[in-house]
A and B are shown apart, each in its own frame.
Chain A
Amino acid sequence: MSLDKATVKNIAFLARIRVPEEDLEPLAGELNNILDWVEQLGEVDTEGVEPMASVSNVTLPLREDAVTGGGQTEKVLANAPEAEKGFYTVPKVVE
């Protein structure tokens, strides 16, 4: 399966990355090269093989249900490009 320009444009939107119109075609070529190459995985019979999400077979630990932080608004916002009155600010979302 080969990605066309329109599909690449959609992937770029899903990933929220602005890709200039003239770069879509070459990018489709690059992504197709990579996808063609990974197609070789199809040669391997994986019927009934469990997928591995993590190498650590330990059960994820639960922490005590207690407040551990909070009250750090200033620290949390310290690196925000724009913040106001203790909040992050973003372009208007609701009309």
Chain B
Amino acid sequence: MSDLNKLTIAQARDGLTKGDFTSVELTEACLSSMSAKKELNAFITETPEIALERAEASDERRATGNTASAMDGVPVAIKDLFCTEGVLTTAASHILDGYTPVYESSVSDNLRNDGAVMLGKANLDEFAMGSANVTSFYGNVINPWKAEDGKDLVPGGSSGGSAAAVSGDLCLAATGTDTGGSIRQPASFCGIVGLKPTYGRCSRWGIVAFASSLDQAGPMTKTVRDAAIMLQSMAGHDPKDSTSAPVELPDFEAALTGEVKGLRVGIPKEYRVEGMPAEIEKLWRQGAEWLKDSGAEIVDISLPHTKYALPAYYIVAPAEASANLARYDGVRYGLRVDGESIDDMYMNTRGEGFGKEVQRRVMIGTYVLSAGYYDAYYRKAQQIRTLIAKDFTDAYDQVDVILTPTAPSAAFPVGENQDDPLAMYLNDVFTVPASLAGIPGISVPAGLSENGLPLGLQLLGKSFDEETVLRAAGVMETAAAFSAKPGL
């Protein structure tokens, strides 16, 4: 059987169960697709030996009736922000040169224990800081979708390698992480599904930390059903992460009933931002129509502090990053650039090891936390965060889910927005508020732009109510019937 790499997780599960093909065949199809599409630069490290070894083990389990889960034998990419035992882990940074963890992150361990096959480590923005995957020390990731003039487009970020790999059928699915939109925005840019679960749903243990109060892992997949299946494996309480929620996991796939009758869907007026392209506004209205036609009730709502989410995020996230990234000191792991004194060594190492965007954010964070400025910036941003979270709590008195666009544009050409950090930050204007509030959100491919590029719609839910988010997303996916594929 050819084109096994193009399957969804659900199709692979069914085919493996029926014995139509083996995990080794599935894995080989993905590995050859990876080789054929190297120009996307979706992977920092490929792990074909590990992949085939785990695929063989999966086939053996299946032969003896010991299949571990729905993910058993399914080949996936792991964002190179997850520590993987014995496999180079870089966070796309020069400063982690040669870092080979002696342990496995909880999320990738969950997948591994469930039988998923790791194909390699996906490229990303350095330390997950970026919205276009142009800050990786290992080079830009290229979106499998092309501009009309054939120009290379960015895949979004920071989980750009994961998104490109799923979109280009290099793998069946991938892990991502989302701090301010890093799963949802690249999913939108690449025409795939990206789910950021509730903060605390997936363990952060063993994930290279960016902003600890915001970071959350989630699945990046070809369909909403696949997101449900993969989340089931990734999520769960982990005593090793004190912010991991000690709650039982529901059956996420069972939530996909295809039924939204009576569901109240909020449309927040503050998301109609100035300068938003008409085609995105139109698609947003279309999304609401789809849900309404399926029996949902559309409710106009207000999230009054939306405008302040992005600036508050660009205080909170850099502040936490400056603390988290203090650990890269040239002593314990990665790069060391010698110096005459210990301070010299620190400064040389961090000056050479961190890229420009990471340096900028660490310095902003250092400044807003410094004596005399803490209250004016950091405390103020934390107070705004309270107000933003309250906006959502109030809205959920009236509605069950909230529908918004995922990003204010389609994928843009490599090189655009590069010299203007603020323009780049605006990519996350619709995704950041949910990150600050810790609520779950999903991006579903919903249509094409005038230039033939994918556009996503975002559904946000209540804390720990991924089930309703997935249910509504499933209905929207069916209605959108998005079937376009990238030209590569």
Chain A contact residues, CB within 8 Å of chain B:
3, 8, 11-19, 27, 30-31, 33-35, 37-38, 40-44, 46, 49-56, 58, 60-61, 63, 75, 78-82, 88, 90-93
Q: Are B384 and A81 in contact (CB under 8 A)?
A: no
Q: Are B305 and A44 in contact (CB under 8 A)?
A: yes
A35 and B438 CA atoms in complex are apart in Å by 25
Please name all residues of chain A whose beta carbon is closer than 8 Å to the beta carbon of B366 when the two chains form the complex: 11, 14-15
B 352-397 contacts with A by CB, 8 A: 352, 354, 359-360, 362-367, 370, 377, 379-387, 389
Q: Are A81 and B389 in contact (CB under 8 A)?
A: no
Whether B421 is near chain A, meaning CB under 8 Å from some CB there, is yes
Shortest C-beta distance, B314 to chain A (Å), equals 6
Whether B343 is near chain A, meaning CB under 8 Å from some CB there, is yes
The stretch from B174-182, B332-340, B443-451 touching chain A is B332-340
Shortest C-beta distance, B70 to chain A (Å), equals 28
A92 and B389 CA atoms in complex are apart in Å by 48
Q: Are A81 and B336 in contact (CB under 8 A)?
A: yes
- One of A42, A53, A75 near B213 (C-beta < 8 A): A53
A15 and B98 CA atoms in complex are apart in Å by 23
A16 and B162 CA atoms in complex are apart in Å by 32
Shortest C-beta distance, A73 to chain B (Å), equals 12
Chain B contact residues, CB within 8 Å of chain A:
98-102, 199-200, 213, 239, 242-243, 245-246, 305, 307-308, 311-312, 314-315, 322, 329-336, 338-348, 350-352, 354, 359-360, 362-367, 370, 377, 379-387, 389, 421-422, 437-438, 463
Please name all residues of chain A whose beta carbon is closer than 8 Å to the beta carbon of B381 when the two chains form the complex: 38, 41
22 contacts between A and B (CB under 8 A): A15-B362, A16-B350, A17-B351, A17-B354, A18-B348, A37-B311, A40-B308, A41-B312, A44-B384, A50-B386, A51-B383, A53-B213, A56-B199, A56-B438, A58-B245, A60-B242, A78-B100, A79-B98, A79-B100, A81-B331, A81-B333, A93-B341
- Looking across the interface, which residue of chain B has its beta carbon closest to that of A59? B242
Dominant SS at the A interface?
A: loop
Q: Are A79 and B380 in contact (CB under 8 A)?
A: no
Shortest C-beta distance, A65 to chain B (Å), equals 14
Shortest C-beta distance, A9 to chain B (Å), equals 11
Q: Are A17 and B363 in contact (CB under 8 A)?
A: yes
A42 and B437 CA atoms in complex are apart in Å by 20
Q: Are B245 and A34 in contact (CB under 8 A)?
A: no
Q: Are B422 and A33 in contact (CB under 8 A)?
A: yes
A30 and B314 CA atoms in complex are apart in Å by 14
Given contacts A52-B386, A55-B199, A91-B338, contact A18 B352 (CB under 8 A): yes
Given contacts A14-B366, A15-B363, A30-B421, contact A55 B347 (CB under 8 A): no
- Looking across the interface, which residue of chain B has its beta carbon closest to that of A55? B438
A43 and B360 CA atoms in complex are apart in Å by 25
Please name all residues of chain B whose beta carbon is closer than 8 Å to the beta carbon of A33 when the two chains form the complex: 421-422
Given contacts A41-B308, A75-B102, contact A46 B243 (CB under 8 A): no
Q: Are B360 and A27 in contact (CB under 8 A)?
A: yes
A87 and B324 CA atoms in complex are apart in Å by 23
- Looking across the interface, which residue of chain B has its beta carbon closest to that of A60? B242
Which 4 pairs between the two chains have the least Cβ-Cβ distance? A18-B351, A55-B438, A51-B382, A81-B336
Please name all residues of chain A whose beta carbon is closer than 8 Å to the beta carbon of B242 when the two chains form the complex: 60-61
- Looking across the interface, which residue of chain A has its beta carbon closest to that of B328? A16
Please name all residues of chain B whose beta carbon is closer than 8 Å to the beta carbon of A31 when the two chains form the complex: 360, 363-364, 367
Please name all residues of chain B whose beta carbon is closer than 8 Å to the beta carbon of A49 when the two chains form the complex: 383, 386-387
Shortest C-beta distance, B103 to chain A (Å), equals 8
Q: Are B332 and A16 in contact (CB under 8 A)?
A: no
Please name all residues of chain A whose beta carbon is closer than 8 Å to the beta carbon of B347 when the two chains form the complex: 13, 16-18
- One of A11, A19, A61 near B351 (C-beta < 8 A): A19
Given contacts A30-B421, A44-B305, contact A38 B311 (CB under 8 A): yes
Please name all residues of chain B whose beta carbon is closer than 8 Å to the beta carbon of A8 when the two chains form the complex: 363
Please name all residues of chain A whose beta carbon is closer than 8 Å to the beta carbon of B382 when the two chains form the complex: 51-53
Shortest C-beta distance, B283 to chain A (Å), equals 28
A63 and B359 CA atoms in complex are apart in Å by 36
A16 and B335 CA atoms in complex are apart in Å by 15
- Looking across the interface, which residue of chain A has its beta carbon closest to that of B370? A14
A65 and B315 CA atoms in complex are apart in Å by 36
- One of B199, B331, B387 near A88 (C-beta < 8 A): B331
- One of B335, B363, B383, B422 near A50 (C-beta < 8 A): B383
Please name all residues of chain A whose beta carbon is closer than 8 Å to the beta carbon of B350 when the two chains form the complex: 15-18
Please name all residues of chain A whose beta carbon is closer than 8 Å to the beta carbon of B348 when the two chains form the complex: 18
Q: Are B386 and A38 in contact (CB under 8 A)?
A: no
Given contacts A41-B311, A56-B245, contact A82 B422 (CB under 8 A): no
Shortest C-beta distance, A17 to chain B (Å), equals 5
